[in-house]
Amino acid sequence: MAAINSLGIGSGVLTSDIIDQLRAVDESNIIKPLENKITLANQKEDAYKLLSSLMTTFKTSAYTLDGDNLYLARSVTGNTDALTVTAEAGADVQSFNITNIDKAEKDVWNSGVISDTTVAFQTAAGTLDIGIGIDTFTINYTVASTLDEIRDSINNTAGAKVTASILEVGANQFELVITADNVNEFITFNDSNAAVQQVDTVTLADTALADGDEFSLTINGFTANYVASVTGGDDINTVNDALKALMDAHDFGSGAGNDFTISASVGSVQTITAQTAGTSFTSSATVVNDPSASATMSSVHTTANLYQALNLNNIQVAEAATFDYNGISITRSTNEISDLINGVTLTLNQNQAVGDSANIKIAQNDTSISSEMSIFVNSYNNLITNLQDMTKSSRETGAVGIFQGESFVKSISRELSALIFQVDDSGKSLVDYGIDVDRYGIMSLDVDVFANKFVTEPEAMELFFSGNATTDGVFTKLNDKMNEYTGYKKLLSNFSDQLDDRKDALVSQYDKLKASLDSRYEIMTKRFIAYDAMISRINFQFSSLQMMIDAEANKNN
Protein backbone atom coordinates (compact mmCIF):
# COMPACT_ATOMS: atom_id res chain seq x y z
CA MET A 1 0.00 0.00 0.00
CA ALA A 2 1.53 3.26 -1.15
CA ALA A 3 0.60 5.16 2.03
CA ILE A 4 2.55 2.75 4.28
CA ASN A 5 5.36 1.55 2.09
CA SER A 6 7.88 2.11 4.97
CA LEU A 7 5.95 -0.24 7.22
CA GLY A 8 8.18 -2.99 8.67
CA ILE A 9 11.40 -1.05 8.51
CA GLY A 10 11.59 -1.00 12.28
CA SER A 11 10.54 -4.56 12.93
CA GLY A 12 11.14 -6.26 9.63
CA VAL A 13 7.96 -8.26 10.36
CA LEU A 14 4.79 -6.13 10.01
CA THR A 15 5.23 -5.09 6.36
CA SER A 16 2.73 -3.58 3.87
CA ASP A 17 2.80 -6.85 1.91
CA ILE A 18 1.10 -8.59 4.79
CA ILE A 19 -1.72 -6.02 4.82
CA ASP A 20 -2.09 -6.26 1.01
CA GLN A 21 -2.33 -10.03 1.21
CA LEU A 22 -4.91 -9.87 3.99
CA ARG A 23 -7.00 -7.32 2.06
CA ALA A 24 -6.82 -9.35 -1.16
CA VAL A 25 -8.27 -12.35 0.67
CA ASP A 26 -11.11 -10.23 2.11
CA GLU A 27 -11.86 -8.60 -1.24
CA SER A 28 -11.92 -11.99 -2.96
CA ASN A 29 -14.40 -13.33 -0.41
CA ILE A 30 -16.54 -10.23 0.11
CA ILE A 31 -16.13 -7.66 -2.70
CA LYS A 32 -15.51 -9.79 -5.80
CA PRO A 33 -18.79 -11.72 -5.57
CA LEU A 34 -20.67 -8.43 -5.37
CA GLU A 35 -18.79 -7.05 -8.35
CA ASN A 36 -19.73 -10.14 -10.34
CA LYS A 37 -23.38 -9.73 -9.33
CA ILE A 38 -23.34 -6.03 -10.36
CA THR A 39 -21.78 -6.97 -13.71
CA LEU A 40 -24.55 -9.54 -14.18
CA ALA A 41 -27.14 -6.90 -13.25
CA ASN A 42 -25.73 -4.55 -15.90
CA GLN A 43 -25.86 -7.37 -18.46
CA LYS A 44 -29.47 -8.03 -17.52
CA GLU A 45 -30.31 -4.37 -18.07
CA ASP A 46 -28.81 -4.55 -21.56
CA ALA A 47 -30.66 -7.80 -22.24
CA TYR A 48 -33.89 -6.22 -21.02
CA LYS A 49 -33.50 -3.35 -23.49
CA LEU A 50 -33.23 -5.89 -26.32
CA LEU A 51 -36.21 -7.84 -24.98
CA SER A 52 -38.30 -4.68 -24.66
CA SER A 53 -37.46 -3.66 -28.23
CA LEU A 54 -38.36 -7.10 -29.60
CA MET A 55 -41.64 -7.12 -27.66
CA THR A 56 -42.55 -3.66 -28.98
CA THR A 57 -41.84 -4.72 -32.56
CA PHE A 58 -43.90 -7.87 -32.12
CA LYS A 59 -46.76 -5.89 -30.57
CA THR A 60 -46.76 -3.54 -33.56
CA SER A 61 -47.16 -6.50 -35.93
CA ALA A 62 -50.01 -7.94 -33.84
CA TYR A 63 -51.71 -4.54 -33.69
CA THR A 64 -51.46 -4.10 -37.47
CA LEU A 65 -52.95 -7.53 -38.19
CA ASP A 66 -55.76 -6.79 -35.74
CA GLY A 67 -56.60 -3.41 -37.28
CA ASP A 68 -59.45 -2.93 -39.76
CA ASN A 69 -57.43 -0.69 -42.11
CA LEU A 70 -55.24 -3.58 -43.21
CA TYR A 71 -58.23 -5.51 -44.50
CA LEU A 72 -59.80 -2.39 -45.98
CA ALA A 73 -56.70 -1.56 -48.06
CA ARG A 74 -57.34 -1.50 -51.79
CA SER A 75 -55.25 -2.15 -54.89
CA VAL A 76 -55.91 -0.56 -58.29
CA THR A 77 -55.06 -2.05 -61.67
CA GLY A 78 -55.67 -0.71 -65.18
CA ASN A 79 -54.10 2.76 -64.88
CA THR A 80 -52.89 4.26 -68.17
CA ASP A 81 -50.85 7.25 -69.34
CA ALA A 82 -54.10 9.19 -69.64
CA LEU A 83 -55.62 8.17 -66.30
CA THR A 84 -54.43 7.44 -62.77
CA VAL A 85 -56.90 6.03 -60.25
CA THR A 86 -56.28 5.76 -56.50
CA ALA A 87 -58.58 4.17 -53.93
CA GLU A 88 -58.79 4.90 -50.22
CA ALA A 89 -59.09 2.19 -47.59
CA GLY A 90 -62.63 0.87 -47.49
CA ALA A 91 -63.56 1.92 -51.02
CA ASP A 92 -66.01 -0.45 -52.69
CA VAL A 93 -64.47 -3.34 -54.59
CA GLN A 94 -65.53 -2.69 -58.18
CA SER A 95 -64.61 -2.43 -61.86
CA PHE A 96 -65.36 0.36 -64.33
CA ASN A 97 -64.39 1.72 -67.73
CA ILE A 98 -63.19 5.22 -68.61
CA THR A 99 -63.16 6.46 -72.23
CA ASN A 100 -63.04 9.69 -74.26
CA ILE A 101 -60.91 11.61 -71.78
CA ASP A 102 -60.57 15.29 -72.71
CA LYS A 103 -58.70 16.86 -69.82
CA ALA A 104 -59.44 20.31 -68.48
CA GLU A 105 -57.20 23.05 -69.89
CA LYS A 106 -55.91 26.42 -68.76
CA ASP A 107 -56.70 29.61 -70.62
CA VAL A 108 -53.56 30.81 -72.46
CA TRP A 109 -53.04 34.06 -74.37
CA ASN A 110 -50.02 35.26 -76.29
CA SER A 111 -49.10 38.59 -77.76
CA GLY A 112 -47.92 39.52 -81.20
CA VAL A 113 -44.18 39.66 -81.84
CA ILE A 114 -42.35 42.56 -80.19
CA SER A 115 -38.74 43.23 -81.13
CA ASP A 116 -37.41 44.65 -77.85
CA THR A 117 -38.63 43.92 -74.33
CA THR A 118 -36.88 46.98 -72.87
CA VAL A 119 -38.38 49.64 -75.14
CA ALA A 120 -41.87 51.21 -74.95
CA PHE A 121 -44.21 49.89 -77.66
CA GLN A 122 -47.56 51.71 -77.17
CA THR A 123 -48.57 55.35 -77.56
CA ALA A 124 -50.98 55.90 -74.68
CA ALA A 125 -51.30 55.59 -70.91
CA GLY A 126 -54.17 53.83 -69.16
CA THR A 127 -55.25 50.68 -67.35
CA LEU A 128 -55.80 47.11 -68.50
CA ASP A 129 -58.24 45.07 -66.42
CA ILE A 130 -57.56 41.34 -66.36
CA GLY A 131 -60.56 39.33 -65.26
CA ILE A 132 -60.51 35.68 -64.22
CA GLY A 133 -63.30 33.97 -62.35
CA ILE A 134 -64.81 36.48 -59.93
CA ASP A 135 -61.59 38.47 -59.66
CA THR A 136 -60.46 41.53 -61.58
CA PHE A 137 -56.91 42.87 -61.50
CA THR A 138 -55.99 46.34 -62.79
CA ILE A 139 -52.67 46.79 -64.59
CA ASN A 140 -51.46 50.40 -64.94
CA TYR A 141 -49.38 51.35 -67.97
CA THR A 142 -47.82 54.49 -69.44
CA VAL A 143 -46.37 55.49 -72.78
CA ALA A 144 -42.98 54.52 -71.36
CA SER A 145 -43.98 50.99 -70.25
CA THR A 146 -41.85 48.19 -71.68
CA LEU A 147 -42.80 44.55 -72.22
CA ASP A 148 -40.62 43.53 -69.28
CA GLU A 149 -42.45 46.01 -67.05
CA ILE A 150 -45.88 44.86 -68.26
CA ARG A 151 -44.97 41.24 -67.45
CA ASP A 152 -43.75 42.16 -63.96
CA SER A 153 -46.83 44.29 -63.29
CA ILE A 154 -49.15 41.42 -64.25
CA ASN A 155 -47.30 38.98 -62.00
CA ASN A 156 -47.16 41.39 -59.07
CA THR A 157 -50.82 42.37 -59.35
CA ALA A 158 -52.58 39.27 -60.68
CA GLY A 159 -50.03 36.60 -59.78
CA ALA A 160 -52.51 34.79 -57.53
CA LYS A 161 -54.56 33.79 -60.58
CA VAL A 162 -52.40 34.16 -63.71
CA THR A 163 -48.74 33.91 -64.69
CA ALA A 164 -47.09 36.16 -67.27
CA SER A 165 -43.86 35.22 -69.03
CA ILE A 166 -41.88 36.30 -72.09
CA LEU A 167 -40.78 33.84 -74.76
CA GLU A 168 -38.02 34.54 -77.27
CA VAL A 169 -39.56 32.90 -80.33
CA GLY A 170 -36.85 34.05 -82.72
CA ALA A 171 -33.96 36.47 -83.13
CA ASN A 172 -35.20 39.76 -81.61
CA GLN A 173 -38.71 38.34 -81.56
CA PHE A 174 -40.49 38.19 -78.23
CA GLU A 175 -44.00 37.24 -77.19
CA LEU A 176 -45.81 37.85 -73.91
CA VAL A 177 -47.66 34.74 -72.68
CA ILE A 178 -50.41 35.00 -70.04
CA THR A 179 -51.57 31.70 -68.52
CA ALA A 180 -54.35 31.05 -66.02
CA ASP A 181 -53.10 29.20 -62.94
CA ASN A 182 -56.19 26.98 -62.78
CA VAL A 183 -57.95 24.99 -65.46
CA ASN A 184 -61.40 25.94 -66.75
CA GLU A 185 -61.06 29.63 -65.81
CA PHE A 186 -61.38 32.13 -68.63
CA ILE A 187 -59.24 35.26 -68.86
CA THR A 188 -60.86 38.50 -70.09
CA PHE A 189 -59.28 41.85 -70.88
CA ASN A 190 -60.76 45.36 -70.75
CA ASP A 191 -58.65 48.39 -71.61
CA SER A 192 -59.57 51.86 -70.34
CA ASN A 193 -58.63 53.34 -73.72
CA ALA A 194 -60.76 52.77 -76.83
CA ALA A 195 -59.23 50.64 -79.54
CA VAL A 196 -58.71 51.89 -83.10
CA GLN A 197 -59.13 50.17 -86.40
CA GLN A 198 -56.38 49.11 -88.73
CA VAL A 199 -56.69 50.77 -92.14
CA ASP A 200 -54.58 49.65 -95.11
CA THR A 201 -54.75 51.64 -98.36
CA VAL A 202 -53.92 50.01 -101.69
CA THR A 203 -53.04 52.17 -104.69
CA LEU A 204 -52.68 50.55 -108.12
CA ALA A 205 -51.16 52.49 -111.04
CA ASP A 206 -50.26 51.62 -114.64
CA THR A 207 -49.18 54.25 -117.13
CA ALA A 208 -49.66 51.87 -120.05
CA LEU A 209 -52.14 49.22 -119.05
CA ALA A 210 -51.96 46.34 -121.48
CA ASP A 211 -53.49 42.97 -122.01
CA GLY A 212 -51.85 40.40 -119.74
CA ASP A 213 -50.83 42.76 -116.95
CA GLU A 214 -51.33 40.72 -113.75
CA PHE A 215 -52.08 42.26 -110.36
CA SER A 216 -52.00 40.49 -107.00
CA LEU A 217 -53.61 41.40 -103.64
CA THR A 218 -52.98 39.36 -100.48
CA ILE A 219 -54.93 39.65 -97.21
CA ASN A 220 -54.23 37.37 -94.26
CA GLY A 221 -52.54 34.78 -96.42
CA PHE A 222 -55.17 34.61 -99.17
CA THR A 223 -54.03 35.94 -102.57
CA ALA A 224 -56.34 37.15 -105.35
CA ASN A 225 -54.85 37.52 -108.87
CA TYR A 226 -56.39 39.38 -111.81
CA VAL A 227 -55.05 39.61 -115.38
CA ALA A 228 -56.08 42.83 -117.17
CA SER A 229 -57.76 42.78 -120.58
CA VAL A 230 -57.66 46.25 -122.14
CA THR A 231 -59.35 44.90 -125.28
CA GLY A 232 -62.08 43.71 -122.98
CA GLY A 233 -62.57 47.21 -121.58
CA ASP A 234 -60.40 47.04 -118.42
CA ASP A 235 -58.82 50.08 -116.84
CA ILE A 236 -57.07 50.43 -113.51
CA ASN A 237 -60.38 50.95 -111.68
CA THR A 238 -61.94 47.77 -113.07
CA VAL A 239 -58.78 45.92 -111.99
CA ASN A 240 -59.36 47.20 -108.45
CA ASP A 241 -63.02 46.21 -108.59
CA ALA A 242 -62.15 42.74 -109.82
CA LEU A 243 -59.67 42.19 -106.97
CA LYS A 244 -62.27 43.43 -104.47
CA ALA A 245 -64.84 41.01 -105.85
CA LEU A 246 -62.43 38.09 -105.50
CA MET A 247 -61.68 39.06 -101.92
CA ASP A 248 -65.34 39.52 -101.04
CA ALA A 249 -66.12 36.07 -102.39
CA HIS A 250 -63.50 34.42 -100.14
CA ASP A 251 -64.54 33.08 -96.74
CA PHE A 252 -61.95 34.32 -94.27
CA GLY A 253 -63.78 32.83 -91.31
CA SER A 254 -64.23 34.71 -88.07
CA GLY A 255 -62.03 35.89 -85.28
CA ALA A 256 -59.24 38.39 -84.78
CA GLY A 257 -57.49 39.28 -87.97
CA ASN A 258 -60.35 38.14 -90.24
CA ASP A 259 -62.97 40.82 -89.64
CA PHE A 260 -62.50 43.53 -92.27
CA THR A 261 -64.15 45.12 -95.34
CA ILE A 262 -62.76 46.27 -98.68
CA SER A 263 -64.17 49.51 -100.02
CA ALA A 264 -65.08 50.05 -103.65
CA SER A 265 -62.28 51.51 -105.71
CA VAL A 266 -62.15 55.24 -105.99
CA GLY A 267 -59.61 56.49 -108.49
CA SER A 268 -57.53 53.31 -108.36
CA VAL A 269 -57.46 53.41 -104.56
CA GLN A 270 -58.90 50.66 -102.34
CA THR A 271 -59.22 50.88 -98.56
CA ILE A 272 -59.11 47.74 -96.40
CA THR A 273 -60.63 48.42 -92.96
CA ALA A 274 -60.97 46.21 -89.87
CA GLN A 275 -64.58 45.81 -88.92
CA THR A 276 -63.80 45.54 -85.21
CA ALA A 277 -61.67 48.01 -83.34
CA GLY A 278 -58.39 46.45 -82.36
CA THR A 279 -58.47 43.77 -85.07
CA SER A 280 -55.14 43.30 -86.83
CA PHE A 281 -54.43 41.76 -90.21
CA THR A 282 -51.74 41.62 -92.88
CA SER A 283 -52.05 42.72 -96.50
CA SER A 284 -49.87 43.32 -99.53
CA ALA A 285 -50.24 44.21 -103.23
CA THR A 286 -47.91 43.51 -106.18
CA VAL A 287 -47.78 43.72 -109.97
CA VAL A 288 -46.60 40.46 -111.44
CA ASN A 289 -45.31 41.09 -114.96
CA ASP A 290 -45.46 44.76 -116.12
CA PRO A 291 -42.57 47.04 -115.24
CA SER A 292 -44.67 50.10 -116.08
CA ALA A 293 -47.30 49.17 -113.48
CA SER A 294 -47.01 49.72 -109.75
CA ALA A 295 -48.78 48.80 -106.55
CA THR A 296 -48.29 50.62 -103.28
CA MET A 297 -49.76 50.07 -99.86
CA SER A 298 -49.82 52.14 -96.72
CA SER A 299 -50.96 50.96 -93.28
CA VAL A 300 -52.40 53.08 -90.52
CA HIS A 301 -52.63 51.01 -87.35
CA THR A 302 -52.38 53.25 -84.32
CA THR A 303 -52.10 51.36 -81.05
CA ALA A 304 -54.27 53.53 -78.84
CA ASN A 305 -54.31 51.02 -75.90
CA LEU A 306 -52.16 48.27 -74.35
CA TYR A 307 -54.49 45.44 -75.31
CA GLN A 308 -54.34 46.44 -78.97
CA ALA A 309 -50.60 47.04 -78.85
CA LEU A 310 -50.07 43.55 -77.46
CA ASN A 311 -52.34 42.07 -80.14
CA LEU A 312 -53.35 39.28 -77.74
CA ASN A 313 -54.61 35.97 -79.11
CA ASN A 314 -56.33 33.16 -77.20
CA ILE A 315 -54.05 30.27 -78.23
CA GLN A 316 -55.50 27.77 -75.74
CA VAL A 317 -59.07 28.14 -74.60
CA ALA A 318 -60.01 27.18 -71.04
CA GLU A 319 -62.23 24.16 -70.90
CA ALA A 320 -63.68 21.69 -68.42
CA ALA A 321 -62.69 18.04 -68.21
CA THR A 322 -64.97 15.55 -69.93
CA PHE A 323 -64.94 11.76 -70.09
CA ASP A 324 -67.25 8.77 -70.15
CA TYR A 325 -67.68 6.63 -67.04
CA ASN A 326 -69.18 3.28 -68.06
CA GLY A 327 -70.63 5.09 -71.08
CA ILE A 328 -72.08 7.98 -69.02
CA SER A 329 -70.83 11.44 -69.98
CA ILE A 330 -69.13 13.24 -67.07
CA THR A 331 -68.00 16.88 -66.87
CA ARG A 332 -65.82 18.38 -64.14
CA SER A 333 -63.98 21.68 -63.69
CA THR A 334 -60.76 19.95 -62.60
CA ASN A 335 -58.50 17.13 -63.72
CA GLU A 336 -58.55 15.56 -60.24
CA ILE A 337 -62.00 14.11 -59.62
CA SER A 338 -62.81 12.76 -56.14
CA ASP A 339 -66.59 13.27 -56.05
CA LEU A 340 -67.63 10.71 -58.66
CA ILE A 341 -67.00 7.47 -56.72
CA ASN A 342 -66.86 7.40 -52.93
CA GLY A 343 -63.26 6.94 -51.75
CA VAL A 344 -61.84 6.92 -55.30
CA THR A 345 -59.84 9.68 -57.02
CA LEU A 346 -59.46 9.92 -60.80
CA THR A 347 -56.56 12.02 -62.11
CA LEU A 348 -56.71 12.92 -65.80
CA ASN A 349 -53.14 13.16 -67.09
CA GLN A 350 -53.65 13.67 -70.82
CA ASN A 351 -56.28 13.44 -73.53
CA GLN A 352 -57.22 9.91 -74.46
CA ALA A 353 -56.68 8.78 -78.03
CA VAL A 354 -59.76 7.87 -80.00
CA GLY A 355 -60.70 4.28 -79.30
CA ASP A 356 -58.55 4.01 -76.17
CA SER A 357 -60.04 3.02 -72.84
CA ALA A 358 -58.95 2.47 -69.25
CA ASN A 359 -60.38 -0.67 -67.65
CA ILE A 360 -60.02 -0.09 -63.91
CA LYS A 361 -60.32 -2.78 -61.24
CA ILE A 362 -60.37 -1.96 -57.52
CA ALA A 363 -59.77 -5.00 -55.31
CA GLN A 364 -58.76 -5.88 -51.76
CA ASN A 365 -55.02 -5.42 -51.39
CA ASP A 366 -53.74 -8.93 -50.71
CA THR A 367 -50.12 -7.79 -51.11
CA SER A 368 -50.25 -5.55 -48.03
CA ILE A 369 -51.80 -8.31 -45.88
CA SER A 370 -49.28 -10.91 -47.06
CA SER A 371 -46.44 -8.45 -46.42
CA GLU A 372 -47.66 -7.71 -42.88
CA MET A 373 -47.99 -11.43 -42.18
CA SER A 374 -44.36 -11.96 -43.27
CA ILE A 375 -43.31 -9.14 -40.94
CA PHE A 376 -45.25 -10.78 -38.12
CA VAL A 377 -43.55 -14.15 -38.69
CA ASN A 378 -40.11 -12.54 -38.70
CA SER A 379 -40.78 -10.50 -35.56
CA TYR A 380 -42.13 -13.60 -33.78
CA ASN A 381 -39.06 -15.64 -34.71
CA ASN A 382 -36.70 -12.87 -33.59
CA LEU A 383 -38.50 -12.64 -30.26
CA ILE A 384 -38.70 -16.39 -29.62
CA THR A 385 -35.08 -17.17 -30.58
CA ASN A 386 -33.82 -14.39 -28.29
CA LEU A 387 -36.08 -15.59 -25.46
CA GLN A 388 -34.68 -19.08 -25.91
CA ASP A 389 -31.11 -17.73 -25.71
CA MET A 390 -31.93 -15.60 -22.67
CA THR A 391 -33.48 -18.47 -20.70
CA LYS A 392 -31.46 -21.51 -21.85
CA SER A 393 -29.71 -23.96 -19.52
CA SER A 394 -27.57 -26.57 -21.24
CA ARG A 395 -26.34 -29.57 -19.28
CA GLU A 396 -24.03 -30.57 -22.11
CA THR A 397 -22.23 -27.25 -22.56
CA GLY A 398 -23.02 -25.61 -19.26
CA ALA A 399 -24.26 -22.51 -21.10
CA VAL A 400 -26.78 -20.47 -19.13
CA GLY A 401 -28.95 -17.64 -20.44
CA ILE A 402 -28.90 -14.21 -18.87
CA PHE A 403 -32.49 -14.65 -17.63
CA GLN A 404 -32.27 -18.38 -16.95
CA GLY A 405 -33.61 -18.01 -13.42
CA GLU A 406 -36.28 -15.42 -14.25
CA SER A 407 -39.68 -17.13 -14.27
CA PHE A 408 -41.33 -14.02 -15.73
CA VAL A 409 -39.16 -14.08 -18.85
CA LYS A 410 -39.62 -17.82 -19.25
CA SER A 411 -43.40 -17.41 -19.17
CA ILE A 412 -43.51 -14.98 -22.10
CA SER A 413 -42.90 -17.48 -24.90
CA ARG A 414 -45.24 -19.99 -23.26
CA GLU A 415 -48.15 -17.54 -23.05
CA LEU A 416 -47.63 -16.13 -26.55
CA SER A 417 -47.45 -19.56 -28.14
CA ALA A 418 -50.65 -20.63 -26.40
CA LEU A 419 -52.49 -17.61 -27.79
CA ILE A 420 -51.10 -17.77 -31.30
CA PHE A 421 -51.84 -21.42 -31.90
CA GLN A 422 -55.21 -21.64 -30.19
CA VAL A 423 -58.13 -23.26 -32.03
CA ASP A 424 -61.34 -21.22 -32.31
CA ASP A 425 -64.88 -22.47 -31.86
CA SER A 426 -65.08 -23.50 -35.53
CA GLY A 427 -61.92 -25.58 -35.24
CA LYS A 428 -59.70 -23.14 -37.17
CA SER A 429 -56.16 -22.12 -36.27
CA LEU A 430 -53.30 -20.26 -37.95
CA VAL A 431 -52.14 -23.59 -39.37
CA ASP A 432 -55.18 -23.50 -41.68
CA TYR A 433 -53.80 -20.28 -43.18
CA GLY A 434 -50.30 -21.59 -43.86
CA ILE A 435 -48.69 -20.53 -40.56
CA ASP A 436 -46.95 -23.26 -38.56
CA VAL A 437 -44.17 -23.77 -36.00
CA ASP A 438 -41.47 -26.43 -36.08
CA ARG A 439 -40.14 -28.41 -33.10
CA TYR A 440 -37.61 -25.67 -32.38
CA GLY A 441 -40.33 -23.05 -32.03
CA ILE A 442 -39.56 -21.32 -35.34
CA MET A 443 -42.61 -20.05 -37.22
CA SER A 444 -43.00 -20.35 -41.00
CA LEU A 445 -45.45 -18.98 -43.57
CA ASP A 446 -46.64 -20.97 -46.59
CA VAL A 447 -47.37 -18.07 -48.95
CA ASP A 448 -49.26 -20.25 -51.43
CA VAL A 449 -51.68 -21.55 -48.80
CA PHE A 450 -52.05 -18.06 -47.36
CA ALA A 451 -52.75 -16.49 -50.77
CA ASN A 452 -55.28 -19.19 -51.67
CA LYS A 453 -57.15 -18.71 -48.41
CA PHE A 454 -57.16 -14.96 -48.94
CA VAL A 455 -58.77 -15.38 -52.36
CA THR A 456 -61.23 -18.13 -51.44
CA GLU A 457 -62.13 -17.14 -47.86
CA PRO A 458 -61.40 -13.40 -47.39
CA GLU A 459 -64.27 -12.80 -44.94
CA ALA A 460 -63.48 -15.91 -42.87
CA MET A 461 -59.80 -14.92 -42.74
CA GLU A 462 -60.60 -11.40 -41.59
CA LEU A 463 -62.98 -12.76 -38.93
CA PHE A 464 -60.39 -15.25 -37.63
CA PHE A 465 -57.59 -12.67 -37.65
CA SER A 466 -59.34 -9.48 -36.56
CA GLY A 467 -62.74 -10.59 -35.25
CA ASN A 468 -65.85 -8.43 -35.24
CA ALA A 469 -68.12 -6.65 -32.76
CA THR A 470 -68.97 -9.88 -30.93
CA THR A 471 -65.94 -12.10 -31.53
CA ASP A 472 -62.26 -11.45 -30.84
CA GLY A 473 -59.85 -12.56 -33.54
CA VAL A 474 -56.57 -14.29 -32.80
CA PHE A 475 -54.62 -11.07 -33.35
CA THR A 476 -57.12 -9.14 -31.24
CA LYS A 477 -56.38 -11.46 -28.32
CA LEU A 478 -52.66 -11.33 -29.03
CA ASN A 479 -52.70 -7.54 -29.18
CA ASP A 480 -54.57 -7.42 -25.84
CA LYS A 481 -51.97 -9.72 -24.31
CA MET A 482 -49.13 -7.57 -25.63
CA ASN A 483 -50.83 -4.53 -24.08
CA GLU A 484 -50.49 -6.29 -20.72
CA TYR A 485 -46.76 -6.59 -21.28
CA THR A 486 -45.86 -3.23 -22.83
CA GLY A 487 -46.50 0.31 -21.69
CA TYR A 488 -46.13 2.33 -18.50
CA LYS A 489 -46.45 0.28 -15.31
CA LYS A 490 -47.17 -2.88 -17.31
CA LEU A 491 -45.48 -6.27 -16.85
CA LEU A 492 -42.26 -5.46 -18.70
CA SER A 493 -41.99 -2.09 -17.01
CA ASN A 494 -42.46 -3.71 -13.61
CA PHE A 495 -39.81 -6.29 -14.43
CA SER A 496 -37.43 -3.48 -15.40
CA ASP A 497 -38.12 -1.79 -12.06
CA GLN A 498 -37.30 -5.05 -10.27
CA LEU A 499 -33.99 -5.31 -12.13
CA ASP A 500 -33.17 -1.71 -11.21
CA ASP A 501 -34.05 -2.32 -7.55
CA ARG A 502 -31.87 -5.42 -7.42
CA LYS A 503 -28.95 -3.59 -8.97
CA ASP A 504 -29.38 -0.60 -6.66
CA ALA A 505 -29.39 -2.93 -3.64
CA LEU A 506 -26.20 -4.63 -4.87
CA VAL A 507 -24.45 -1.31 -5.47
CA SER A 508 -25.52 -0.08 -2.04
CA GLN A 509 -24.25 -3.28 -0.38
CA TYR A 510 -21.01 -3.04 -2.35
CA ASP A 511 -20.44 0.56 -1.25
CA LYS A 512 -21.07 -0.32 2.40
CA LEU A 513 -18.78 -3.35 2.39
CA LYS A 514 -16.10 -1.46 0.48
CA ALA A 515 -16.25 1.35 3.02
CA SER A 516 -16.12 -1.18 5.87
CA LEU A 517 -13.02 -2.83 4.41
CA ASP A 518 -11.37 0.54 3.86
CA SER A 519 -12.03 1.45 7.48
CA ARG A 520 -10.86 -1.94 8.81
CA TYR A 521 -7.56 -1.79 6.95
CA GLU A 522 -7.03 1.84 7.78
CA ILE A 523 -7.25 0.89 11.47
CA MET A 524 -5.11 -2.21 10.89
CA THR A 525 -2.44 -0.09 9.19
CA LYS A 526 -2.34 2.33 12.11
CA ARG A 527 -2.01 -0.60 14.55
CA PHE A 528 0.72 -2.18 12.48
CA ILE A 529 2.61 1.11 12.50
CA ALA A 530 2.29 1.30 16.31
CA TYR A 531 3.26 -2.36 16.76
CA ASP A 532 6.18 -1.88 14.40
CA ALA A 533 7.41 1.06 16.49
CA MET A 534 7.08 -0.96 19.71
CA ILE A 535 8.96 -3.89 18.23
CA SER A 536 11.60 -1.48 16.93
CA ARG A 537 12.07 -0.02 20.46
CA ILE A 538 12.27 -3.48 22.03
CA ASN A 539 14.76 -4.54 19.41
CA PHE A 540 16.80 -1.40 20.12
CA GLN A 541 16.70 -2.00 23.87
CA PHE A 542 17.65 -5.64 23.37
CA SER A 543 20.48 -4.58 21.13
CA SER A 544 21.80 -2.18 23.80
CA LEU A 545 21.52 -4.83 26.49
CA GLN A 546 23.34 -7.30 24.27
CA MET A 547 26.12 -4.81 23.74
CA MET A 548 26.48 -4.33 27.54
CA ILE A 549 26.58 -8.07 28.09
CA ASP A 550 29.14 -8.50 25.35
CA ALA A 551 31.29 -5.70 26.83
CA GLU A 552 31.16 -7.16 30.30
CA ALA A 553 32.12 -10.57 28.99
CA ASN A 554 35.04 -9.18 27.10
CA LYS A 555 36.21 -7.34 30.26
CA ASN A 556 36.35 -10.57 32.24
CA ASN A 557 38.41 -12.21 29.57
Question: Long-range contact list for 526-529, CB < 8 A, 24+ apart?
Answer: 528/4, 528/7, 528/14, 528/18, 528/19, 529/4, 529/7
Q: What is the pLDDT of residue 256?
A: 46
pLDDT mean over 298-303 = 53
User: In this structure, which amino acid lies at residue 343?
Assistant: G
What is the distance between the alpha carbons of residues 336 and 103, in angstroms, rounded to a whole number?
A: 10
Any bridge partners for residue 16, and if so which?
Answer: none
More confident residue, 109 or 239: 109
**pLDDT tens for residues 235-265?**
877 887 888 888 778 877 655 445 566 765 5
Instruction: Look at residue 15 and give its three-state secondary structure.
Output: coil
Whether the predicted pLDDT of 426 surpasses 80: yes
Q: Which of 159-173, 288-302, 399-413 has the lowest mean pLDDT?
A: 288-302
Instruction: Look at residue 220 and give its three-state secondary structure.
Output: coil
**Mean confidence (pLDDT) of the chain:** 85
Whether the predicted pLDDT of 307 surpasses 60: yes
- Percent of the chain topping pLDDT 90: 46
**pLDDT tens for residues 452-474?**
888 888 888 888 888 888 889 89
What is the distance between the alpha carbons of residues 466 and 475, in angstroms, rounded to a whole number?
A: 6
Q: What is the pLDDT of residue 445?
A: 94
CB 306 within 8 A of CB 224: no
CA nearest neighbour of 450 among 383, 363, 361, 371: 371
CA nearest neighbour of 304 among 175, 139, 191: 191
pLDDT mean over 202-226 = 78
User: In this structure, which amino acid lies at residue 154?
Assistant: I
Helix runs in 349-396, H state only: 366-391
**pLDDT tens for residues 13-62?**
566 778 788 888 888 898 899 989 999 999 999 999 999 999 999 999 99
Q: What is the pLDDT of residue 84?
A: 97
Q: What is the pLDDT of residue 3?
A: 44
- Percent of the chain topping pLDDT 70: 87
User: In this structure, which amino acid lies at residue 1?
Assistant: M
What is the distance between the alpha carbons of residues 274 and 254, in angstroms, rounded to a whole number?
A: 12
Q: What is the pLDDT of residue 424?
A: 84
Q: Which of 174-178, 207-211, 340-344, 490-494 has the lowest mean pLDDT?
A: 207-211
Upper half-sphere CA count for residue 459 (Cβ side, 13 Å): 0
DSSP letters along 115-179, please?
S-TTS---S--EEEEEEETTEEEEEEE-TT--HHHHHHHHHHHHTTTEEEEEEEEETTEEEEEEE
Q: Which band of pLDDT confidence, cut at 50, 70 and 90, is reported for residue 520?
A: confident
β-pairing verdict for 328-332 and 321-325: antiparallel
For the chain, domain boundaries: 1-73+365-557, 74-103+320-364, 106-194+312-316, 199-297
What is the distance between the alpha carbons of residues 120 and 254, in angstroms, rounded to a whole number?
A: 31
Q: What is the pLDDT of residue 257?
A: 47
Whole-structure pTM value: 0.58
Q: What is the DSSP letter of 92?
A: P
Backbone phi, psi, residue 83, to 5°: -140, 135
Q: Which residues contact 94 (CB under 8 A, 6 or more apart)?
A: 341, 361, 362
Backbone phi, psi, residue 100, to 5°: 55, 45
Q: What angle do CA 242, 248, 252 make, to 5 degrees?
A: 135
**pLDDT tens for residues 308-337?**
888 899 999 999 999 999 999 999 999 999
Q: Which residues contact 100 (CB under 8 A, 6 or more apart)?
A: 322, 323, 324, 352
What is the distance between the alpha carbons of residues 45 and 51, in angstroms, rounded to a whole number?
A: 10
